[in-house]
Structure 1
Amino acid sequence: MTASLISQFLPVLSERYLVDENILVPELLARCDTLQPHQAAAERLATQIVEGIRAQKPRSMDINQLLVAYQLTSEEGIALMCVAEALLRIPDTQTRNALIRDKMSVTEWEASSAANPFQNFSTWALNLTGNVLHLQNKDSGWGVFGKLIARLGQPVIRTALEQAMRLMGNQFVLGETIDEAIANRRKHPYPHATASYDMLGEGARTINDAARYFQAYETAIHAVGKAKMGDSISIKLSALHPRYEWRKPDRIRHELFHSVFKLCAIAKAYDLMVTIDAEEMDRLVPSLELFEMLARTPELSGWNGLGLAVQAYGKRCTQALEFVIALARDTRRIIPTRLVKGAYWDSEIKRAQVEGHENYPVFTRKSTTDVSYLAGAQLMLSAPDAIYPQFATHNAMTAAMIMQIVGDKKYEFQRLHGMGDNLYESLSAVLGRPVPYRIYAPVGPHHDLLAYLVRRLLENGANSSFVYQIADKNIPVKKMLDNPVQFTANLSDKLHPKISLPPDIFGAERKNSFGPLLPEPMMRDKLIKDIQKFLLQPYEAAPIIDGKSLTGVRQTKYDPSDNRRALGTSIDCTTDDVARAMEVAHHTQHEWDKMGGAARGKILARAADLFEFHMPQLVALIVREGGRTLQSAINDFREAVDFLRYYGAQAAREFETPVRLPGPTGEQNELWLRGRGVFVCIAPWNFPLAIFTGQATAALAAGNSVIAKPAGQTPMVAHYAVKLLHQAGVPTGVLHFTPGSGSALGKVFVESKYT
Structure 2
Amino acid sequence: MTDWDSLDNGKYRDEAAVIADLLAAAPMSSDDRAAVRAEAEALVRGARRSVRKQGVVESFLQEFSLGTREGLALMCLAEALLRTPDDDTRDKLIAEKIGSADWASHLGGSDSLFVNASTWGLMLTGKIVEPDDQAQKDLPGFIKKIAGRLGEPVIRAAVGQAIRIMGEQFVLGRTIEAAIKRAASDGDICSFDMLGEGARTAADAQRYEKSYADAIETVGKLSNKAGPEAGHGVSVKLSALTPRYEATQEARVWDELYPRVLRLALIAAKYDINFTIDAEEADRLALSLKLLDRLCREPELGQWTGLGLAVQAYQKRCPEAVARLVALSKETGRRLMVRLVKGAYWDSEIKRAQVAGRPDYPVYSTKPATDLSYLVCAKALIAAAPHLYAQFATHNAHTLAAVVRMSKAAGVKIEHQRLHGMGEALYKAADDLYDGITLRAYAPVGGHEDLLPYLVRRLLENGANTSFVHALLDERVPVEKVVVDPIDAVEAHPARHAKIPTPIHVYGDRRQNSAGVDLSIKAERERLTAAVAALDSETLSAGPLIGGKLVAGGTPLPVVSPADHGRVVGAVSEAQLPQIDQAFKLARAAQPAWDRSGGAARAKVLRAMGDALEANIDRLIAILSREAGKTLSDGIAEVREAVDFCRYYAVLAEDQFGDGEIL
Q: TM-score, normalised by structure 1?
A: 0.82
- C-alpha separation between the residues in 2 aligned to 1:580 and 1:163? 71
Offset of residue 87 of structure 1: 5.9
**Residues 150, 520 of structure 1: CA spacing in aligned structure 2 closer, same or farther, 3 A cutoff?**
closer
- C-alpha separation between the residues in 2 aligned to 1:232 and 1:213? 17
Offset of residue 103 of structure 1: 2.2
Are 1:508 and 2:509 matched, yes or no?
A: yes
Q: 1:117 aligns with which of 102, 108, 113?
A: 113
Are 1:429 and 2:432 matched, yes or no?
A: yes
Offset of residue 142 of structure 1: 9.2
- C-alpha separation between the residues in 1 aligned to 2:20 and 2:246? 32
**Residues 513, 93 of structure 1: CA spacing in aligned structure 2 closer, same or farther, 3 A cutoff?**
closer
- C-alpha separation between the residues in 2 aligned to 1:277 and 1:574? 62
The aligned counterpart of 2:538 is 537
Q: 1:176 aligns with which of 174, 177, 188?
A: 174
The structure showing larger relative contact order (alpha-carbon pairs under 8 Å, at least 6 residues apart) is 2
The aligned counterpart of 2:334 is 333
- C-alpha separation between the residues in 2 aligned to 1:453 and 1:520? 31
Offset of residue 44 of structure 1: 1.1
- C-alpha separation between the residues in 2 aligned to 1:59 and 1:28? 36
Are 1:374 and 2:375 matched, yes or no?
A: yes
The aligned counterpart of 2:419 is 416
- C-alpha separation between the residues in 2 aligned to 1:254 and 1:79? 44
- C-alpha separation between the residues in 2 aligned to 1:146 and 1:502? 42
The aligned counterpart of 1:559 is 561
Offset of residue 474 of structure 1: 1.0
**Residues 630, 89 of structure 1: CA spacing in aligned structure 2 closer, same or farther, 3 A cutoff?**
closer
Give the AA of the match of 2:439.
Y
Contact 1:104–1:130 (CA under 8 A) maintained in structure 2:
no
1:302-361 alpha-carbon deviations (Å, 9 max, x no partner):
111110000000111011111211111111011000000001010100000001111001
Offset of residue 167 of structure 1: 2.0
Matched position secondary structure for 1:315: coil
Offset of residue 102 of structure 1: 2.6
Matched position secondary structure for 2:512: coil
- C-alpha separation between the residues in 2 aligned to 1:149 and 1:477? 40
- C-alpha separation between the residues in 1 aligned to 2:217 and 2:519? 39
1:660-679 alpha-carbon deviations (Å, 9 max, x no partner):
20xxxxxxxxxxxxxxxxxx
Q: 1:102 aligns with which of 88, 96, 116?
A: 96
1:83-119 alpha-carbon deviations (Å, 9 max, x no partner):
3346677676544433322322111112332331221
Q: 2:593 aligns with which of 591, 594, 604?
A: 591
Offset of residue 152 of structure 1: 11
1:162-208 alpha-carbon deviations (Å, 9 max, x no partner):
332222122100000001001101101x4xx4100000110111111
- C-alpha separation between the residues in 2 aligned to 1:360 and 1:152? 44
**Residues 151, 402 of structure 1: CA spacing in aligned structure 2 closer, same or farther, 3 A cutoff?**
closer
Give the AA of the match of 1:441.
A
Pair member with larger Rg: 1
- C-alpha separation between the residues in 2 aligned to 1:108 and 1:147? 14
1:576-612 alpha-carbon deviations (Å, 9 max, x no partner):
1101111111111111111111011011111111111
Give the AA of the match of 2:114.
F
1:49-74 alpha-carbon deviations (Å, 9 max, x no partner):
10011111335852222112111122
Give the AA of the match of 2:570.
G
- C-alpha separation between the residues in 2 aligned to 1:398 and 1:148? 46
**Residues 152, 19 of structure 1: CA spacing in aligned structure 2 closer, same or farther, 3 A cutoff?**
closer
The aligned counterpart of 1:242 is 243
Contact 1:89–1:447 (CA under 8 A) maintained in structure 2:
no
Are 1:212 and 2:235 matched, yes or no?
A: no
1:288-313 alpha-carbon deviations (Å, 9 max, x no partner):
11111111111013111110000000
Offset of residue 148 of structure 1: 9.8
Q: After the TM superposition, which residues 436-515 of structure 1 pair with which residues of structure 2 at under 5 Å, given as runs?
A: 436-493=438-495, 495-515=496-516
- C-alpha separation between the residues in 1 aligned to 2:273 and 2:494? 47
The aligned counterpart of 2:219 is 224
Offset of residue 155 of structure 1: 5.1
The aligned counterpart of 2:315 is 314
Please identify, of 554-563 and 381-390, the stretch whose mean Cα deviation from structure 2 is larger: 554-563
Q: 1:194 aligns with which of 179, 189, 198?
A: 189
Q: 1:126 aligns with which of 105, 122, 125?
A: 122
- C-alpha separation between the residues in 2 aligned to 1:466 and 1:597? 50
Please identify, of 74-83 and 634-643, the stretch whose mean Cα deviation from structure 2 is larger: 74-83
Give the AA of the match of 1:84.
A
Offset of residue 15 of structure 1: 1.9
Contact 2:532–2:625 (CA under 8 A) maintained in structure 1:
no
Contact 1:295–1:301 (CA under 8 A) maintained in structure 2:
no
Give the AA of the match of 1:367.
P
The aligned counterpart of 1:608 is 610
- C-alpha separation between the residues in 1 aligned to 2:370 and 2:197? 24
- RMSD (Å), alpha carbons: 2.4
Q: 2:627 aligns with which of 625, 628, 632?
A: 625
**Residues 548, 151 of structure 1: CA spacing in aligned structure 2 closer, same or farther, 3 A cutoff?**
closer
Offset of residue 369 of structure 1: 0.3
Matched position secondary structure for 2:124: helix
**Residues 653, 328 of structure 1: CA spacing in aligned structure 2 closer, same or farther, 3 A cutoff?**
same
**Residues 61, 332 of structure 1: CA spacing in aligned structure 2 closer, same or farther, 3 A cutoff?**
closer
Contact 1:172–1:418 (CA under 8 A) maintained in structure 2:
yes
The aligned counterpart of 1:51 is 45
- C-alpha separation between the residues in 2 aligned to 1:312 and 1:503? 24
**Residues 240, 459 of structure 1: CA spacing in aligned structure 2 closer, same or farther, 3 A cutoff?**
same
- C-alpha separation between the residues in 1 aligned to 2:547 and 2:148? 73
Contact 1:107–1:130 (CA under 8 A) maintained in structure 2:
no
Matched position secondary structure for 1:419: coil
* Identity fraction in percent: 43
The aligned counterpart of 1:73 is 67
- C-alpha separation between the residues in 1 aligned to 2:72 and 2:146? 29
- C-alpha separation between the residues in 2 aligned to 1:163 and 1:641? 47
Contact 2:63–2:106 (CA under 8 A) maintained in structure 1:
no
Matched position secondary structure for 1:564: strand
**Residues 544, 633 of structure 1: CA spacing in aligned structure 2 closer, same or farther, 3 A cutoff?**
same
Contact 1:268–1:300 (CA under 8 A) maintained in structure 2:
yes
Q: After the TM superposition, which residues 715-726 of structure 1 pair with which residues of structure 2 at under 5 Å, given as runs?
A: none
- C-alpha separation between the residues in 2 aligned to 1:203 and 1:505? 29
The aligned counterpart of 1:32 is 26
Contact 1:105–1:130 (CA under 8 A) maintained in structure 2:
no
Q: After the TM superposition, which residues 677-696 of structure 1 pair with which residues of structure 2 at under 5 Å, given as runs?
A: none
The aligned counterpart of 1:524 is 525
**Residues 79, 617 of structure 1: CA spacing in aligned structure 2 closer, same or farther, 3 A cutoff?**
same
Matched position secondary structure for 1:364: coil
Matched position secondary structure for 1:514: coil
**Residues 100, 594 of structure 1: CA spacing in aligned structure 2 closer, same or farther, 3 A cutoff?**
same
Offset of residue 527 of structure 1: 2.8
In the alignment, structure 2 segments of 5+ residues that lack a partner are: none
Offset of residue 492 of structure 1: 4.7
Matched position secondary structure for 1:659: coil
Offset of residue 147 of structure 1: 8.7
Contact 2:313–2:374 (CA under 8 A) maintained in structure 1:
yes
The aligned counterpart of 1:548 is 549
- C-alpha separation between the residues in 1 aligned to 2:511 and 2:144? 55
1:260-306 alpha-carbon deviations (Å, 9 max, x no partner):
10011011110011000000000111111111111111101311111
Contact 2:569–2:627 (CA under 8 A) maintained in structure 1:
yes
**Residues 547, 79 of structure 1: CA spacing in aligned structure 2 closer, same or farther, 3 A cutoff?**
same
Offset of residue 14 of structure 1: 2.2
In the alignment, structure 1 segments of 5+ residues that lack a partner are: 662-755
Give the AA of the match of 1:414.
Q
Give the AA of the match of 1:122.
S
- C-alpha separation between the residues in 1 aligned to 2:465 and 2:148? 37
Q: TM-score, normalised by structure 2?
A: 0.93
